[in-house]
Amino acid sequence: MFDLALLIQGLPLLLAGLWNTIWLSACGLALGFLIGIGVCSLKLSERGALRRLGGAYISVFRGIPLLIQLLFIYYLLPRLGLDVPAWVAAIAGLALCSGAYLAEILRGGLLTLPAGQVEAARLLGLSGRTILTRIELPQALRATLPALLNEVILLIKASSLISAVGLAELTRTAQNLAASSFLQLQFYLAAAVLYCVVNISLALLAGRLERRFAKGRA
Protein backbone atom coordinates (compact mmCIF):
# COMPACT_ATOMS: atom_id res chain seq x y z
CA MET A 1 0.00 0.00 0.00
CA PHE A 2 2.87 2.32 0.71
CA ASP A 3 6.01 2.44 -1.33
CA LEU A 4 8.60 4.96 -0.27
CA ALA A 5 10.66 4.63 -3.43
CA LEU A 6 7.67 5.36 -5.65
CA LEU A 7 6.67 8.23 -3.41
CA ILE A 8 10.12 9.80 -3.75
CA GLN A 9 9.97 9.18 -7.46
CA GLY A 10 6.58 10.91 -7.70
CA LEU A 11 7.51 13.77 -5.42
CA PRO A 12 8.83 16.14 -8.10
CA LEU A 13 5.56 15.75 -9.99
CA LEU A 14 3.55 16.35 -6.83
CA LEU A 15 5.55 19.45 -6.02
CA ALA A 16 5.11 20.74 -9.57
CA GLY A 17 1.37 20.18 -9.15
CA LEU A 18 1.47 21.99 -5.81
CA TRP A 19 3.30 24.87 -7.43
CA ASN A 20 0.57 25.14 -10.07
CA THR A 21 -2.06 25.10 -7.37
CA ILE A 22 -0.26 27.84 -5.46
CA TRP A 23 0.55 30.27 -8.21
CA LEU A 24 -2.73 29.93 -10.05
CA SER A 25 -4.66 30.39 -6.79
CA ALA A 26 -2.48 33.32 -5.78
CA CYS A 27 -2.98 35.09 -9.10
CA GLY A 28 -6.69 34.28 -9.07
CA LEU A 29 -7.04 35.61 -5.53
CA ALA A 30 -5.03 38.75 -6.21
CA LEU A 31 -7.18 39.60 -9.21
CA GLY A 32 -10.27 38.45 -7.35
CA PHE A 33 -9.38 40.87 -4.61
CA LEU A 34 -9.30 43.80 -7.01
CA ILE A 35 -12.59 42.65 -8.52
CA GLY A 36 -13.97 42.29 -5.01
CA ILE A 37 -13.04 45.88 -4.11
CA GLY A 38 -14.62 47.14 -7.33
CA VAL A 39 -17.82 45.15 -6.97
CA CYS A 40 -18.07 46.08 -3.31
CA SER A 41 -17.75 49.78 -4.23
CA LEU A 42 -20.51 49.29 -6.79
CA LYS A 43 -22.77 47.72 -4.20
CA LEU A 44 -22.14 50.59 -1.78
CA SER A 45 -22.64 53.25 -4.44
CA GLU A 46 -25.20 56.00 -4.04
CA ARG A 47 -26.52 55.27 -7.53
CA GLY A 48 -29.16 52.60 -7.80
CA ALA A 49 -28.02 51.43 -11.23
CA LEU A 50 -24.48 50.79 -9.99
CA ARG A 51 -25.76 49.00 -6.90
CA ARG A 52 -27.85 46.72 -9.09
CA LEU A 53 -24.89 46.06 -11.35
CA GLY A 54 -22.81 45.00 -8.35
CA GLY A 55 -25.64 42.84 -7.07
CA ALA A 56 -26.04 41.18 -10.46
CA TYR A 57 -22.33 40.36 -10.58
CA ILE A 58 -22.47 38.71 -7.20
CA SER A 59 -25.62 36.75 -8.04
CA VAL A 60 -24.12 35.38 -11.24
CA PHE A 61 -20.62 34.51 -10.10
CA ARG A 62 -21.66 33.20 -6.71
CA GLY A 63 -24.61 31.34 -8.16
CA ILE A 64 -22.88 29.32 -10.86
CA PRO A 65 -20.59 26.45 -9.85
CA LEU A 66 -16.92 27.25 -10.32
CA LEU A 67 -16.49 24.19 -12.52
CA ILE A 68 -19.07 25.43 -14.99
CA GLN A 69 -17.55 28.92 -14.95
CA LEU A 70 -14.13 27.47 -15.74
CA LEU A 71 -15.40 25.30 -18.56
CA PHE A 72 -17.48 28.14 -19.93
CA ILE A 73 -14.53 30.53 -20.00
CA TYR A 74 -12.26 27.83 -21.42
CA TYR A 75 -14.59 27.12 -24.32
CA LEU A 76 -15.95 30.64 -24.75
CA LEU A 77 -12.68 32.49 -25.22
CA PRO A 78 -11.59 30.64 -28.40
CA ARG A 79 -15.06 31.28 -29.83
CA LEU A 80 -14.46 35.00 -29.27
CA GLY A 81 -11.26 34.64 -31.23
CA LEU A 82 -9.09 34.79 -28.10
CA ASP A 83 -6.63 31.96 -28.30
CA VAL A 84 -5.41 32.01 -24.71
CA PRO A 85 -3.56 29.30 -22.82
CA ALA A 86 -5.41 27.22 -20.24
CA TRP A 87 -3.78 28.98 -17.29
CA VAL A 88 -5.35 32.28 -18.34
CA ALA A 89 -8.78 30.68 -18.33
CA ALA A 90 -8.00 29.12 -14.95
CA ILE A 91 -6.94 32.39 -13.35
CA ALA A 92 -9.87 34.25 -14.89
CA GLY A 93 -12.31 31.68 -13.52
CA LEU A 94 -10.80 31.74 -10.04
CA ALA A 95 -10.68 35.55 -10.01
CA LEU A 96 -14.23 36.10 -11.22
CA CYS A 97 -15.61 33.64 -8.71
CA SER A 98 -13.56 34.66 -5.66
CA GLY A 99 -14.26 38.32 -6.52
CA ALA A 100 -17.94 37.77 -5.81
CA TYR A 101 -17.29 36.26 -2.39
CA LEU A 102 -14.58 38.75 -1.45
CA ALA A 103 -16.86 41.65 -2.42
CA GLU A 104 -19.45 40.53 0.09
CA ILE A 105 -16.90 39.92 2.84
CA LEU A 106 -15.38 43.37 2.32
CA ARG A 107 -18.79 44.99 2.21
CA GLY A 108 -19.58 43.41 5.55
CA GLY A 109 -16.35 44.87 6.92
CA LEU A 110 -16.99 48.33 5.50
CA LEU A 111 -20.49 48.44 6.92
CA THR A 112 -19.16 47.98 10.45
CA LEU A 113 -17.17 51.23 10.19
CA PRO A 114 -18.86 54.23 11.81
CA ALA A 115 -20.00 56.60 9.04
CA GLY A 116 -18.47 59.47 11.00
CA GLN A 117 -14.94 58.32 10.20
CA VAL A 118 -15.59 58.82 6.51
CA GLU A 119 -17.37 62.14 7.10
CA ALA A 120 -14.38 63.38 9.07
CA ALA A 121 -12.10 62.30 6.23
CA ARG A 122 -14.25 64.01 3.59
CA LEU A 123 -14.28 67.26 5.52
CA LEU A 124 -10.51 67.15 5.72
CA GLY A 125 -10.50 67.01 1.94
CA LEU A 126 -9.44 63.39 1.40
CA SER A 127 -10.60 62.07 -1.96
CA GLY A 128 -12.95 59.12 -2.26
CA ARG A 129 -10.12 56.89 -3.38
CA THR A 130 -7.82 57.92 -0.56
CA ILE A 131 -10.60 57.33 1.92
CA LEU A 132 -11.18 53.86 0.51
CA THR A 133 -7.54 52.81 0.47
CA ARG A 134 -6.25 54.58 3.58
CA ILE A 135 -9.22 54.67 5.96
CA GLU A 136 -11.83 52.11 4.99
CA LEU A 137 -10.00 49.13 3.48
CA PRO A 138 -7.27 48.83 6.13
CA GLN A 139 -9.93 48.63 8.81
CA ALA A 140 -12.24 46.38 6.78
CA LEU A 141 -9.35 43.97 6.19
CA ARG A 142 -8.52 43.86 9.87
CA ALA A 143 -12.15 43.34 10.81
CA THR A 144 -12.75 40.57 8.28
CA LEU A 145 -9.41 38.76 8.45
CA PRO A 146 -10.91 35.44 9.69
CA ALA A 147 -13.55 35.48 6.94
CA LEU A 148 -10.95 36.41 4.33
CA LEU A 149 -8.72 33.55 5.44
CA ASN A 150 -11.70 31.20 5.09
CA GLU A 151 -12.29 32.38 1.55
CA VAL A 152 -8.61 32.05 0.63
CA ILE A 153 -8.48 28.48 1.94
CA LEU A 154 -11.76 27.55 0.25
CA LEU A 155 -10.46 28.89 -3.03
CA ILE A 156 -7.16 27.02 -2.78
CA LYS A 157 -9.09 23.80 -2.29
CA ALA A 158 -11.58 24.64 -5.02
CA SER A 159 -8.69 25.29 -7.38
CA SER A 160 -8.53 21.52 -7.89
CA LEU A 161 -11.33 22.16 -10.38
CA ILE A 162 -8.94 23.85 -12.79
CA SER A 163 -7.80 20.38 -13.78
CA ALA A 164 -10.99 20.46 -15.86
CA VAL A 165 -9.29 22.83 -18.28
CA GLY A 166 -6.35 20.51 -18.56
CA LEU A 167 -3.95 21.85 -15.94
CA ALA A 168 -2.07 19.41 -13.74
CA GLU A 169 -2.48 20.98 -10.38
CA LEU A 170 -2.00 19.10 -7.12
CA THR A 171 -5.19 17.00 -7.09
CA ARG A 172 -4.94 15.97 -10.72
CA THR A 173 -1.26 15.06 -10.30
CA ALA A 174 -2.09 12.89 -7.31
CA GLN A 175 -4.86 11.22 -9.29
CA ASN A 176 -2.49 10.49 -12.14
CA LEU A 177 0.17 9.06 -9.84
CA ALA A 178 -2.41 7.01 -7.97
CA ALA A 179 -3.81 5.58 -11.17
CA SER A 180 -0.46 4.64 -12.66
CA SER A 181 0.98 3.11 -9.49
CA PHE A 182 -2.21 1.65 -7.94
CA LEU A 183 -1.02 3.22 -4.66
CA GLN A 184 -4.12 5.38 -4.24
CA LEU A 185 -3.90 5.97 -0.49
CA GLN A 186 -0.26 6.88 -0.59
CA PHE A 187 -0.61 9.61 -3.20
CA TYR A 188 -3.91 11.01 -1.95
CA LEU A 189 -2.42 11.17 1.53
CA ALA A 190 0.61 12.98 0.14
CA ALA A 191 -1.68 15.50 -1.61
CA ALA A 192 -3.71 15.94 1.57
CA VAL A 193 -0.56 16.65 3.58
CA LEU A 194 0.62 19.22 1.04
CA TYR A 195 -2.75 21.02 1.03
CA CYS A 196 -2.69 21.07 4.81
CA VAL A 197 0.83 22.45 4.96
CA VAL A 198 -0.16 25.35 2.71
CA ASN A 199 -3.42 26.11 4.47
CA ILE A 200 -2.07 25.77 7.99
CA SER A 201 0.82 28.09 7.10
CA LEU A 202 -1.71 30.62 5.87
CA ALA A 203 -3.71 30.30 9.07
CA LEU A 204 -0.57 30.86 11.15
CA LEU A 205 0.30 33.91 9.10
CA ALA A 206 -3.22 35.28 9.51
CA GLY A 207 -3.01 34.67 13.25
CA ARG A 208 0.18 36.69 13.45
CA LEU A 209 -1.36 39.51 11.46
CA GLU A 210 -4.40 39.49 13.70
CA ARG A 211 -2.26 39.81 16.81
CA ARG A 212 -0.35 42.67 15.23
CA PHE A 213 -3.57 44.46 14.33
CA ALA A 214 -4.94 43.90 17.81
CA LYS A 215 -2.50 46.33 19.35
CA GLY A 216 -3.93 49.80 19.34
CA ARG A 217 -7.43 48.58 19.94
CA ALA A 218 -8.72 49.32 23.40
Partner 1 sequence: MNQSTAKRSAGDVMLEARGMSKRFGEHTVLQDINLSIQRSEVVCLIGPSGSGKSTLLRSLAFLENYDDGEVFVEGELLGYDRARDGRRVRSRPSRLSDVRRNMGMVFQQFNLWPHLSVVENVMEALLRVRGMKSADARRLALTTLEKVGLAEKADAWPNRLSGGQQQRVAIARSLAMSPAIMLFDEPTSALDPELVGEVLQVMRQLAEEGMTMVVVTHEMGFAAKVADRVLFLDQGHIVEQGPPTRLFRHPQSPRLAQFLGNYLERNTLFEAAPAPNHVDD
Residues that bind partner 1 (CB under 8 A): 114, 116-117, 119-128, 130, 134-135, 138-139, 142, 213, 215-218
Q: How far is the CB of 119 from partner 1 (least distance, A)?
A: 5
Question: Is the CB of residue 151 less than 8 Å from the CB of residue 98?
Answer: yes
Smaller CB separation from partner 1, 62 or 122: 122
Q: How far is the CB of 76 from partner 1 (least distance, A)?
A: 38
Q: How far is the CB of 153 from partner 1 (least distance, A)?
A: 25
Alpha helical stretches, state H, 44-183: 48-63, 66-79, 86-111, 115-123, 128-130, 137-143, 145-158, 170-181
Q: How far is the CB of 179 from partner 1 (least distance, A)?
A: 51
Smaller CB separation from partner 1, 45 or 184: 45
Orientation angle between helical segments 170-181 and 184-214, nearest 10 degrees:
160
Q: How far is the CB of 167 from partner 1 (least distance, A)?
A: 39
Cβ count near 75 (within 10 Å): 11
Smaller CB separation from partner 1, 63 or 216: 216
Q: How far is the CB of 146 from partner 1 (least distance, A)?
A: 17
Q: How far is CA 96 from CA 36, 63, 188, in A?
A: 9, 12, 29
Smaller CB separation from partner 1, 3 or 119: 119
114: alpha, beta or left? (left if phi > 0; alpha if psi -120 to 50): beta
Smaller CB separation from partner 1, 81 or 114: 114
169: alpha, beta or left? (left if phi > 0; alpha if psi -120 to 50): beta
> How many Cα atoms are found within 13 Å in the side-chain-facing hemisphere of 58?
21
Smaller CB separation from partner 1, 52 or 212: 212
